[in-house]
Structures are given as C-alpha cells and as structure tokens.
C-alpha cells in the first residue's frame, strides 16, 4: 500500500473504484478524507459500497456513511437499490427485514393492474359534472345504492361522477358515509374513504359516521374507523357509549371499553336501564359491580322510560325489591304513571307491586293517576286493590290540573 496526495486521490477517485482491491492502494484515513470532499451520485455511491465495505468494520462503514454527501437520482428504483445495498452491508437484520417488507409492498402496489374502465364509462367520464337539474336524482340513486349495500352500483356512480356530492343527505339526515356505516358493508365504507370521503364529517343535524355504525352494532366498521384515526369530539366521548346503550350495541360497547378504553361515567348505567335490552344489561351488570349498588335507582329509571325488558331484568333476574322507593318515597309504579307509561304500570301491578304505598308527602298511585287524568287506569287500580283514603283530596287534585273528565268521574262514582 502506498500513500497519495489527497487532492490527487479525490481527482482520481472514480478510477480507484474500478480496481479490484481499492484498499490496497488507499489507507482508511485517506479514504475517509477523500470521501468528505466528494459529491456522490447513486452510481458512484454504489461502486464505493460494493468495492470497499467488505474490507471495513461496521464502525468504519458507519463513519464513511456519516460523511458522504449524496445527490440521489430521480429514479426511485436506483434509490431503492442503493438503500438496500447499504442496509445489507451494515448487516442489521431488523432493518433489512423491514426494508424488504416495504419493498415488497411497494412492488405489489406498482404492479397492480389498473382497473379497466368500460368504454361507456370512459365516454361519460369526459364530462364528470352532473347535468343541471339531475343532481338530486343521481344523489338519491347514490344514497339508495349505499343503503342497499350495492358495491357495484356505488362504484359505477363514483366512476361516472367522481365529483358527486359526498355529503348529500337522506331524509333522515344521513350522509353517504353514515349510510354505508349503518349498513355495515365494510368494502363500501373503504371505497368511500379512498374516494376522499371525510369519516369525521357530520351531517346537517350534527350526526356522524361513527355514531351510525355504533347504532347498528357494526363492529367491523367501527374497528376500521378507529384504524384510520376517527376523531371523537371530547364532549362526545361519553355520548358514544350511551349511543351503544340506547341501541343495545353490545359488540361495540365491548370493543369501546376493552380496546379503545373509552371514557364514560355512571350515566351510561342509567342510559342502559332506560333503553337497553337484557343482553346489554347483563354485560354491564356482570362487569361493573357499581350497578348492583344503584340497582334500585336504575329500576326506577327503567320504569320512567317504560323499558319493560330492564324491569324484568332487575325484578325477576336480579332480585331488586319491586316496592323500593327513592329519596321522596316514590315507587317504580308511581314513576311509570307519572310518565304515562301505562303498559309498564300494568306490568308492575301484574308482578305484584303494592298499589297503596304513599310517598313522604302522602301521595299514592291514585294521586298520580288523577293528576294525569287517566280514568281507565284509575278503575284498573281500584280493581287491583287500590284504596281511596280521601276522595275530596283527589277531586281537588283533578280540579287543580283541569281534568274535568276525572273530576266528573270521581263525583259520579262516589268512591
């Protein structure tokens, strides 16, 4: 090995790279000093690495790479090849594996056959604007195809009219993404997303695609939305769990709690009591012991909304006292009557509730019935054991509420 002037080395560097054994003519220090002063392109860098790196330690390789100035080619294939050569020469398995995985995906994408557009579609696509006056018709067809889950039809419309309004709405104020999410066709959801449809776009009524998917317990759609970073407004994090409860979307609530770790509070339990079916209630009840501590309050809430499934769940399955009262002494029967849930009230009577319990202000089921003016249910209670303590007091209640029919009924029957 012999030493050379550094300027001469830099000038003749490409010549040295043509030699079979470069390191026989240059010391590492000379090589390092030369590389610092050379502007590399892909071809020159490839030659250097191929000829020199086999004679260098990993530390020396990194030192040389650290000082190299590279102006990469515009050809991505050359860049890929150079990058692969560098990674291979460094012999770091994880980087090599990751790069090859990326390269495979890139090549697969590059080689994907382009979808052939039918001749008819090609002609139509020359003029992609929807004809004047036809927009509503085409949007209606589009929404119908989405609702039916007609993937082929949706593709045809998007292909013919790529600029179609992606945020038109149904009569229920559902935009296209919401319709697709509600129907549960994941391919169509992805198709809209890839066409540029915003997964976070709310409708004119403030509804949003994630909500539509949860309402219909479309678990796979919900998973996809979260995989593409759906945004949940902070003020609505609690609301989407309640949406799941209102529609008894048990698969979605499990995912939201177990995988997304969504925030929620005790209001979820009350929402479930008011609206959920037995399967949903069972899931929450078995999972959260706090529901057992507030089961009386939950049963009263169920009575107020007429959720008979929940009442059967609490009274028949969980052993809640049907005559349990709230802080004012009101029973589930009173709650049902107060909210005009007569079918629920009759269910409670059929289950054997006490129809003569009085609140701390001495009001009973008959009092609430008179206040509502329901003569038929008043008679129903009487036939099922309700007793009148003070008829004149009930007549006064009817008068204050302007229930003339009830007032006349009470006087005529002289209870």
Q: Which 3-state string (H, E, C) describes the chain?
A: CCCCCHHHHHHCHHHHCCCCCHHHCCCHHHHHHHHCCCEECHHHHHHHHHHHHHHCCHHHHHHHHHHCEECCCCCHHHHHHHHHHHHHHHCCHHHHHHHHHHHHHHHHHHHCCCCCCCHHHHHHHCCCCCCCCCHHHHHHHHHHHHHHCCHHHHHHHHHHCCCCCCCCCCCCCCCHHHHHHHHCCHHHHHHHHHCCCCCCCCCCCCCCHHHHHHHCCCHHHHHHHHHCCCCCCHHHHHHHHHHHHHCCCHHHHHHHHHHHCCCCCCHHHHHHHHHCCHHHHHHHHHHCCHHHHCHHHHHHHHHHHCCHHHHHHHHHHCCCCCCCCCCCCCCHHHHHHHCCCHHHHHHHHHCCCCCCCCCCCCCCHHHHHHHHCCHHHHHHHHHCCCCCCCHHHHHHHHHHCCCHHHHHHHHHHCC
At residue 292, the pLDDT reads: 93
* pLDDT exceeds 90 at position 107: no
Range in 16-30, 263-277, 384-398, 399-413 the model is least confident about: 16-30
Q: What is the pLDDT of residue 85?
A: 77
The tokens of 3 are what?
A: 């030493």
What is the chain's mean pLDDT, rounded?
85
Residue given tokens 């003029």 in the structure block: 127
Cβ atoms within 10 Å of 74's Cβ, excluding its own: 7
Please check whether residue 80 is in contact with residue 87, taking contact to mean a CB–CB distance below 8 angstroms. no
Mean pLDDT, range 389-405, rounded to an integer: 93
Phi, psi of 4 (to 5 degrees): -130, 160
Cα 254 from Cα 267, distance rounded (Å): 17
More confident residue, 281 or 27: 281
Q: What's the rounded mean pLDDT across residues 148-157?
A: 93
- Indicate the range of 104-118, 197-211, 391-405 predicted with least confidence: 104-118
Looking at residue 321, its pLDDT comes to 97
The model's pTM: 0.65
Residue 241 has pLDDT above 90, yes or no: yes
293: tokens are 């501590």
pLDDT in tens, 220-240: 999 999 999 898 876 566 689
Residue with token string 């990058």? 83
Length of the chain: 415
Q: Name the percent of the chain lying above pLDDT 90.
A: 59
Q: How many CA atoms lie within 13 A of 123 on its CB side?
A: 2
d(CA 94, CA 102): 12
**19-53 pLDDT, tens digit each:** 666 666 667 777 788 788 888 888 888 887 877 77
Lowest mean pLDDT among 1-15, 88-102, 275-289, 308-322: 1-15
| R_g of the chain computed on alpha carbons | 37
Q: Are the CB atoms for 372 and 365 separated by under 8 Å? A: no
* Residues 167 and 201 sit within 8 Å (Cβ to Cβ): yes
Q: Over the stretch 327-376, which tens digit does the pLDDT of each residue have?
A: 999 999 999 999 999 999 999 999 999 999 999 999 999 999 999 999 99
Query: 154 and 191 in contact (C-beta within 8 Å)?
Result: yes
Over residues 47-61, mean pLDDT: 79
Instruction: Report pLDDT for 103.
Output: 62
């Amino acid at each position: 090995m012999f030493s050379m002037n550094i300027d001469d080395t830099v000038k003749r560097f490409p010549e040295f790279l043509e030699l079979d054994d470069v390191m026989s003519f240059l010391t590492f220090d000379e090589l390092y000093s030369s590389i610092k002063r050379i502007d590399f392109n892909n071809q020159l860098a490839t030659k250097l690495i191929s000829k020199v790196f086999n004679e260098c330690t990993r530390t020396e390789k990194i030192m040389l790479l650290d000082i190299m100035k590279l102006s990469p080619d515009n050809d991505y294939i050359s860049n890929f090849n150079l990058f692969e050569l560098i990674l291979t020469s460094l012999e770091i398995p994880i980087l090599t594996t990751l790069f090859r995985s990326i390269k495979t995906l890139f090549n697969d994408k590059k080689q994907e056959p382009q979808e052939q557009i039918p001749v008819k579609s090609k002609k139509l696509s020359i003029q992609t604007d929807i004809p004047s006056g036809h927009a509503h018709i085409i949007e209606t067809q589009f929404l119908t195809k989405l609702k039916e889950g007609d993937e082929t039809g949706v593709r045809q419309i998007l292909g013919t009219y790529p600029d179609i309004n992606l945020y038109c709405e149904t009569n229920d104020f559902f935009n296209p993404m919401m319709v697709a999410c509600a129907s549960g066709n994941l391919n169509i959801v992805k198709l809209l997303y890839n066409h540029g449809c915003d997964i976070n776009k709310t409708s004119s009524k403030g509804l949003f695609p994630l909500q539509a998917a949860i309402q219909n317990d479309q678990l796979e759609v919900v998973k996809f939305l979260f995989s593409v970073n759906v945004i949940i407004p902070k003020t609505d994090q609690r609301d989407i769990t309640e949406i799941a409860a209102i529609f008894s979307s048990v698969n979605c609530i499990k995912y939201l709690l177990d995988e997304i770790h969504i925030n929620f509070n005790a209001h979820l339990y009350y929402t479930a009591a008011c609206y959920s079916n037995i399967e949903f209630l069972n899931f929450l009840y078995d999972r959260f012991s706090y529901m057992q501590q507030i089961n009386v309050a939950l049963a009263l809430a169920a009575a107020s909304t007429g959720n008979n499934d929940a009442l059967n769940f609490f009274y028949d399955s969980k052993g809640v006292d049907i005559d349990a009262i709230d802080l004012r002494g009101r029973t589930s029967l009173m709650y049902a009557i107060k909210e005009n849930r007569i079918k629920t009230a009759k269910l409670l009577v059929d289950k054997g509730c006490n129809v003569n319990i009085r609140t701390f202000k001495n009001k009973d089921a008959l009092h609430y019935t008179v206040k509502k003016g329901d003569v038929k249910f008043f008679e129903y209670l009487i036939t099922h054991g309700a007793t009148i303590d003070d008829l004149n007091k009930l007549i006064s209640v009817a008068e204050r509420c302007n229930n003339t029919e009830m007032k006349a009924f009470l006087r005529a029957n002289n209870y």
